[in-house]
């Protein structure tokens, strides 16, 4: 979902430091540049980044950009959660209330960023997912009390450049968000694998089973994205009474052993692990 015209105007002048130029950082950067962020307003801080687009500045460590100034409007923290504690102290001088710290790291609480950067630091915690790489991501974000409306709109535009964006006021909901959308693409990929395997068991050649499973899942997703009907209606629309789809759904919709109870347990397990990682 592209940024709005207003967001494009705001993005054209925003200064961004991207700490971590890996897959998620790279996906965000591509979205920003496609939606109006000026390359020379972006600095990637990473000793070994991926592709660096023309015009974007690169620093191996934060010392150079901190010395050069000016401070960024948004400090995007896109490093792995397990090294975040080693990275944050270098940016404490930015915790004066003018730079927004925007995290895309799972399992890292707002309170942790406030402790590392300063109690008055505006912090936005967000959970994007991997379809951001093709600008079809789903991101949910939560802001602390120091984030102004202007800063929130800027973060909304940056995150919205790679897909859909929603906000929650209760940070505790982020664990459930992580379990549904953050981890969700893996569930869909596993479903595709299972469909392909089942096709082989039913007699299809392996390559054909893999091809039609992949195309069916991606095509159904595209249809759902464009349709006005909700998923339940779409499901009913393709299910003839006593037909082949109904026979399969009788298995998948079993109250005790079907996909519904299994997915509930899976999401609960992911949310529980998210809470454990957050400490």
Q: What residue numbers does the annotated binding site for NADP(+) cover? A: 78-81
Which among 140, 21, 15, 160 is positioned nearest to 79, based on CA atoms? Answer: 21
CB 50 within 8 A of CB 17: no
Of the candidates 71, 70, 76, 69, the residue with the CA atom closest to the CA atom of residue 22? 76
Backbone angles phi, psi at 5, to 5 degrees: -60, -40
**Which residues are CB-neighbours of 119 under 8 A, at least 6 positions away?**
none
Decide: residue 57, CB within 10 A, 0-12 exposed, 13-18 middle, 19+ buried. Answer: middle
- Residue 62: phi and psi, rounded to 5, are -75, -10
Binding residues: 78-81
């Amino acid at each position: 979902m592209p940024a709005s015209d207003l967001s494009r105007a705001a993005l054209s002048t925003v200064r961004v430091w991207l700490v971590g130029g890996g897959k998620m950082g790279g996906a965000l950067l591509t979205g920003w540049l496609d939606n109006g962020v000026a390359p020379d307003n972006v600095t990637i801080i990473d000793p070994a980044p991926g592709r660096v687009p023309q015009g974007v500045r690169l620093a191996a460590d934060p010392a150079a950009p901190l010395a050069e100034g000016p401070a960024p409007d948004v400090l995007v923290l896109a490093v792995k959660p397990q090294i975040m504690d080693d990275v944050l102290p270098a940016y404490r001088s930015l915790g004066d209330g003018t730079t927004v710290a925007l995290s895309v790291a799972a399992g890292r609480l707002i309170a942790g960023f406030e402790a590392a950067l300063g109690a008055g630091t505006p912090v936005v915690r967000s959970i994007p997912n991997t379809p951001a790489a093709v600008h079809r991501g789903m991101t949910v974000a939560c802001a602390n009390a120091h984030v102004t409306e202007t800063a929130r709109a800027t973060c909304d535009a940056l995150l919205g450049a790679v897909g859909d964006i929603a906000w929650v006021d209760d940070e505790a909901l982020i664990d459930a968000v992580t379990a549904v959308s953050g981890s969700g693409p893996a569930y869909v990929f596993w479903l595709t694998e299972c469909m392909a395997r089942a096709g082989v068991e039913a007699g299809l050649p392996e390559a054909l089973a893999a091809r039609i499973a992949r195309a069916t899942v991606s095509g159904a997703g595209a249809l759902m994205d464009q349709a006005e009907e909700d998923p339940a209606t779409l499901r009913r629309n393709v299910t003839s009474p006593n037909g082949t789809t109904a026979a399969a759904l009788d298995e998948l919709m079993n109250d005790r052993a079907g996909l519904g109870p299994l997915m509930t347990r899976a999401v609960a397990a992911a949310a529980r692990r998210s809470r454990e990682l957050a400490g």
